[in-house]
Amino acid sequence: MTQTEKYIWLIDTIYKAKKISLEDISQQWRDYMGLNVDEKLHRATFNRWKDEIYMQFGIIISCQRVGGYKYYIENPEVIEENKLNKWMLDTIATGNLINNNISVSTRILVNKIPSGNVHLKSIIHSLKNNIRIEITYQQFDRESHTFPVDPFCLKLFENRWYVLARNNWGQIKLYCLDRILEVVFYDEHFEVPEDFNAEEYFAPYYGIIRNERPERIVIRAYDVHRHYMASLPLHDSQRLIEDTGEYSDFELTVAPTYDLVMKLLSFGAMIEVIEPVSLRDTMRGWVSELYEMYKK
C-alpha cells in the first residue's frame, strides 16, 4: 500500500464517518489491514498523515474537542465540489478495497481503458511542468504524423483518455491517448493562457465535441428510467421540472452535439426529446435510418 493510498484511506474513513475518534480510526485501520489487536495507528503517524493530506490535497482534518475528541473534514467542499478530487478519492478508495479483498477479484468486473497506462504518465508530467512535447499521432485509417503540442488538460470520456493541447499551427484540439504512438519531451516550456479554465471549457458540452452552441433541451424520461436519470444526471445543468408519476421532464442547458445525440439514442424508447424541435428532428432522422437498416 503506497503512502498516497494510505492518505486516501484516511480521508475516505473520516469523510464517510462525518465525525470519528482516533480510537475508532485505529480500530478500522486494524480491521482494514488485518493487523493484530495490539497493533494500532499511532497518534504521531496519524498527525503526520494529516499534515501530508493538507499539503497534497488541501483537505483540512480538524478535531472537535467538545463531547469527546473526534476528527472531521473541516472543508468537505474541497472533495464535494472538485470533480478530480472526488473521482480520485472514489477510485483509489475502491482500488484499496478491492486490493484488500483480492480473493474475490475474479468476481469484480470493470471496464478497460485502452490508453490508461501508455502515455498518461508522460502527459501528466508535461501538464505539471508545462513542458512542450512532441507526439506521433495516428488517426484511424490515416498515416501517422509527428508534431509538437502544448498540453492544456486531460479528459476521460467513454473509457478513453484525451489530451486538449495547442499544436504547432496554433490550434487547440483534442488528441486521444490511445492514438498517440510516441511521446518525446522538448527542452523548452510553454505558458497556458491565463484565462483558460478546463472546467469552463467543457462545461456546456456532453462529451468531447464542441461544434454546437449550448441551448435549452427538455428530455422526458418514462416509467422507471426517470429514476435512473434523476440519480445519474446526463449533465451538471440537469434539473427536474416536472414529475407526473408516469414520466419526468428534465431541463438541460447543453450543446446538442453528436456525443449527446448518441447518448440519447442509447436509451431507446425510455426517453423522448421534447425540446427543441431541431433536436427532435435530428433524433427522428437517426431513428429512420436505423429502421431502414433493420426492417429487412
Lowest-pLDDT choice from 88-92, 106-110, 222-226: 106-110
Give the mean pLDDT of 157-166.
92
Residue of higher predicted confidence among 257 and 38: 257
Phi, psi at residue 19, to the nearest 5°? -140, 135
Q: How confident is the model at residue 172 (pLDDT cuts 50, 70, 90)?
A: very high
Instruction: Give the pLDDT score at 147.
Output: 96
Determine the Cα–Cα distance for residues 158 and 207; give it in Å rounded to an integer. Answer: 8
Cell of 202: 467543457
Q: Give yes or no for residue 58 having a pLDDT over 80.
A: yes
Instruction: Say which DSSP state 170 is in.
Output: S
Instruction: Give the pLDDT score at 114.
Output: 65
Instruction: Give the pLDDT score at 117.
Output: 64
95 neighbors 81 (Cβ within 8 angstroms): no
Angstrom CA distances, 255 to 133, 154, 183, 226, 252, stand at: 31, 20, 33, 21, 9
153 neighbors 146 (Cβ within 8 angstroms): no
Find, among 164, 157, 122, the residue nearest to 260 by Cα. Answer: 157
Instruction: Give the pLDDT score at 105.
Output: 67
Instruction: Give the pLDDT score at 83.
Output: 76
Instruction: Give the pLDDT score at 82.
Output: 78
Instruction: Give the pLDDT score at 24.
Output: 93
Instruction: Give the pLDDT score at 214.
Output: 95
Q: How many of the other CB atoms lie within 10 Å of CB of 32?
A: 14
Instruction: Give the pLDDT score at 33.
Output: 79
Alpha helices, H only, 18-147 = 22-33, 43-57, 77-80, 83-99, 120-129
**Best-predicted range by mean pLDDT (33-42, 62-71, 117-126, 267-276):** 267-276
Residue of higher predicted confidence among 109 and 265: 265
Instruction: Give the pLDDT score at 32.
Output: 80
Q: Give yes or no for residue 11 having a pLDDT over 60.
A: yes
Omega of the bond leading into 204 within 30 degrees of 0 (cis) = no
Q: How confident is the model at residue 4 (pLDDT cuts 50, 70, 90)?
A: confident
Determine the Cα–Cα distance for residues 266 and 252; give it in Å rounded to an integer. Answer: 18
